[in-house]
Every structure is written in C-alpha cells, then in structure tokens.
Amino acid sequence: MLQIYNTLSRSKQAFKPIEPGKVKMYVCGMTVYDFCHIGHARVMIVFDMVVRWLRASGYEVVYVRNITDIDDKIINRAVENGEPISALTQRFIDAMHADSDELGLTHPDHEPRATDYIGQMQGIIGRLIEKELAYQGEDGDVNFAVRLFPEYGRLSGKSLDELNAGERVAVGGGKRDPLDFVLWKSAKAEEPADTRWKSPWGEGRPGWHIECSAMSCDLLGEHFDIHGGGADLQFPHHENEIAQSEGALYGQDHKASDQPFVNYWMHNGHIRVNEEKMSKSLGNFFLIRDVLKNFDPEVLRFFMLRAHYRSPINYSDAQLEEARSGLVRLYTALAHISLSDKAVDPHSPWAKRFADAMNDDFNTPEAIAALFDLASEVNRTQGDEKAQLANTLKGLAGTLNFLQRDPTVFLQEGSRGGDTGLSAAAIEEQIAARVAAKQAKDFAKADLIRKTLLEQGVVLEDKPGGLTEWRRS
C-alpha cells in the first residue's frame, strides 16, 4: 500500500483517496514573469513522477497545476518593459510550456490562470468577511484575521507567537496584526489599468494566497486528496491557504474534527548551489533552458529523481555528469537487445522491489538502485532470459519516463545536450581509419586512434566479425 509523508501530520500515512480509485491533486505552479529555473524544474519533475506512479498504480488522477499571472513582480517587470501584463505573462507561459515539453513531462489536466478566477476569489473573500474572519483596513486592503482562526499554525507546527510574516506578505498600515495577510489589494493610482478589477471593496487585485484556494476548490472541490509544492511554500503560503479555505467553510467555529481542506500535503526539498539555497535574490540560479544546452533533458530528470523528493539537492555540473554516467550505464545494458513493449510481470521480484520502493513515499533513490541492480543482472545473463530481464528494466524505468529511447541513439547522440563534440560522421571516419590501420598491421596507429577518441569522450567496443561499435562516455 502507498505511504505518503504528510507534512500536516509529520509522518508517513497510508494513502486512502477520498473517492476509491480516484485522486485529486493540486500543485502550486509558476509565477510567470521570467524563464523557469531548475528549482521550478524540480517541482515539475517531482510531481510528474507522483502522477505517473499514481496512474501506474491504477488510480484515475486529476492533476491541477496553477499559473500565477498577476503579482507584484509581474507588474514591476511589465512596467519596466513598457508592455501589457498579458503580453509578458503569455510569453513566459509559452516558455514554461516549451521547457516542460523539452523535459518530457506530463501536462496537467488543468492549468488555471489566476486572472480567470477573480470572481471565485472575491466569492471566498466575501464569505470570510461574512464570518468575520476578514476585514477591510484603512488603506483599502482586505486582510485575513489570523488570530481568529484557531487552527492556524498546524502545517508549520508553530504557535501564533512563534510565527513571523513570510517575506512575500506585505505588512501594510491597514493591518490589525502583523500576522494578518492580504486577500485583496487596493489599487494604487500609479498602477496600470490592466492590474485592477472591480470589487465590493473597490478596485484592486487579489493577494497571492487567495488564488490557489479559489482555483483548487473550483476544479477539485472544497475537500481533495493531495496538495503539493516546494518546501518554501509550507509557510506562509500553504498555511494561509488552509486558513482561508477552511475559514470560508467553517468560520471561527472550526473544529479539528471538521473535514480538512486537503488530506495530504507534500513538499519537495530545495535546490542548493554550493550548499546554499538556490534563489534569484542570491543570483545563484540556473535556467532550465541554459542547463539543457549542455545536458540532455533525460539526464536532468534522472539527476532530480536520484534524490528523494523531500531531500535537498546540491546542484553542480559534476553532479549532472555523474547522473549522465548513470544513465549511460543503464542504456548500455539495453543496447543490442531485441526489446518489446510487453507489460512487466508485476509478480517478478524486480517489479516487487521497484513497487515497494515507490510505495514507500515515492522512494525514487531505492527504485533507481533496483534498476541498476537489474541492469547488472542483464549484463550477466544470456539468451532469452537476458531479453526478458532487459524488457523488465525498460518497463520499470518507463514508469519514471527513463530508458524509453533507442539505446544506440542515446549512447551515440543523446547522452549529452547541445555540443556533443565529434559528429557521428567524424567518429565513423576515425573508426574506418583504425580498421585500415589494423589491416595494414599498423597497430600503433590503431591504438592511437582508439586513445584519441577516448580522450574526446568516445568509447570503442570491438565485436565479433570485425565490427566496431561506439558510444559516448
């Protein structure tokens, strides 16, 4: 049975969907004012993996990942560029989709944009005001009164007195308490016309947190299975989502026994660079599209999933090279074997080991370790059993969207992205020259060609019948 680490309970729990056989999952997506970096890639890759495993386990999954297309950073960037908000956000939405497609990721079933849900947001805010959990301050902003919601702090595990307002929560003069957070921002005179909407509280725009409550509840209902996002969203964003969503349902009389907004909260770990958290403010972030100039997309996915999704990852080119070498080893085990698309026998010991790992809170490091052990077994085996094991390797890896390409193509061209050094034609020319040297009994020249190619990252393998195969190291 699948066990998921639930941030809300701080423990692994058996997964029981609200509706048998069906899973409703919401993941906080991108704020689209710039290109996506590898921190975004980790969120996308992790929850792509979760969706793939849930579906492979027989669940019908509704996967929602939102787009924040109205935000202070978006407004500032559009003003700097002298362009409409919609033009800026559409450009970076298109770029995000291009990055996601390049990474080979599953498209969400729904990808709602915040600006399409203004009415739903206003509806929730209105209910919160009616239940006296929200108020309009002197500055025109509408704020959530945190201390009136008795369950606040459950997700972060801190008392109200321990909590501090998060960095994205602006503390304005109209707040009654520093912990209160904005639901509706009053429009400022200097802000562009396309950043404001009419409301019962005057022209303005939604706060950041209210967006996700409106979109998730509209598409999945007021009570759903899984909510995911990066660890940095646990507080204040997800804490605030719980407060406003459950507050709108139950008011100040909310009890611990009431149905929660979400049953399972999942958070992926940070990306670190030189042991520091990666962030735009530190300037130590890497864009997905820049990384993919030097590394194959499958290598980046493999790098991300070699670590457990809850663990921080230290990013470096050396780590990506190590991941690339691991993929080369797995693809090498599949090379020159007649592979089929036959379904994996779920009762095989390899499938059981793989499934046990994935069902243990999506333990991809252990699942990938099983793939490496299986690859070693493929290399040791001959005949029909070898082909059967190779098909099992390909099938299990396919659950994580690995090893689905032609092994020879990957080994010769796909293990690196961008500049792959020598072209295939140049390598074949060198192999032909080596064959000619061997025929002329000039073995010193033949050995020099092999050595030179190896120094350029090309490994030659002599096969029976005088054939020479090659791959990139």
Express each pLDDT in 254-267 by its tens digit. 777 889 999 999 99
| CATH numeric code, 292-414 | 1.20.120.640
Say if domain 15-272 classifies as CATH 3.40.50.150.
no
* Contacts by 419-424, CB closer than 8 A, 24 or more apart: 419/294, 420/472, 421/456, 421/457, 421/458, 421/472, 422/453, 422/456, 422/458
The mean pLDDT of the chain is: 91
Q: Which of 185, 253, 219, 208 is nearest to 65 (CA)?
A: 219
Contact 264, 4 (CB under 8 A): yes
Return the minimum-mean-pLDDT range out of 280-284, 286-290, 365-369.
280-284
* CA distance linking residue 47 with residue 174, whole number of Å: 38
Mean pLDDT is lowest, of 60-69, 101-110, 166-175, 311-320, for 166-175
pLDDT at 109 exceeding the cut of 50? yes
| Angstrom distance (rounded) from CA 253 to CA 19 | 27
Residues 49-74: b if buried by 16+ CB within 10 A, e if exposed = bbbbbbeebebebbbbbbbbbbbbeb
Question: Whose CA is closest to 137, among 100, 109, 171?
Answer: 171
The pLDDT, as a whole number, for residue 170 is 47
Predicted local confidence at residue 456, as pLDDT:
81
Which are the contacts of 95, defined by CB distance < 8 A and separation ≥ 6? Answer: 35, 36, 289
Average pLDDT over residues 202-228: 97
3-class state of residue 99 by DSSP: helix
Report CA torsion sign: 181, 185, 191, 195.
Answer: positive
Asked if residue 168 has pLDDT above 70, the reply is no
Q: Would you say 140 and 174 are in contact if contact means Cβ atoms under 8 Å apart?
A: yes
Which pLDDT value is given to residue 420? 52
Question: Do 286 and 316 form a contact (C-beta atoms < 8 A)?
Answer: no
Token pair in block for residue 313:
């990852």
Least confident segment among 140-154, 277-291, 325-339: 277-291
Bigger pLDDT: 368 vs 438: 368
The two beta strands, 11-14 and 3-6, are: antiparallel
Mean pLDDT of 289-314: 96
pLDDT at 16: 98
Closest CA to 51 of 63, 42, 36: 63
Q: H helices of 115-207, where?
A: 118-130
Residues 6+ apart with CB under 8 A from 62: 22, 23, 24, 25, 109, 110, 219, 220
pTM of the model: 0.91
What 3-state class would DSSP assign to 64? strand
Torsion of CA 235, 237, 243, 247, to 10 degrees: 180
Q: Does residue 353 sit in helix, strand or coil?
A: helix
Q: Which residue has the higher pLDDT, 415 or 374?
A: 374
Q: Please name which of 16, 241, 205, 29 lies closest in space to residue 122, comparing C-alpha atoms.
A: 205
User: Residue 428: its pLDDT value, please?
Assistant: 76
Tell me how far apart the alpha carbons of residues 460 and 451 are, in angstroms, rounded to a whole number: 9
Confidence at residue 314, expressed as pLDDT on a 0 to 100 scale: 94
Task: Say if residue 236 is preceded by a cis peptide, omega within 30 of 0.
Answer: yes
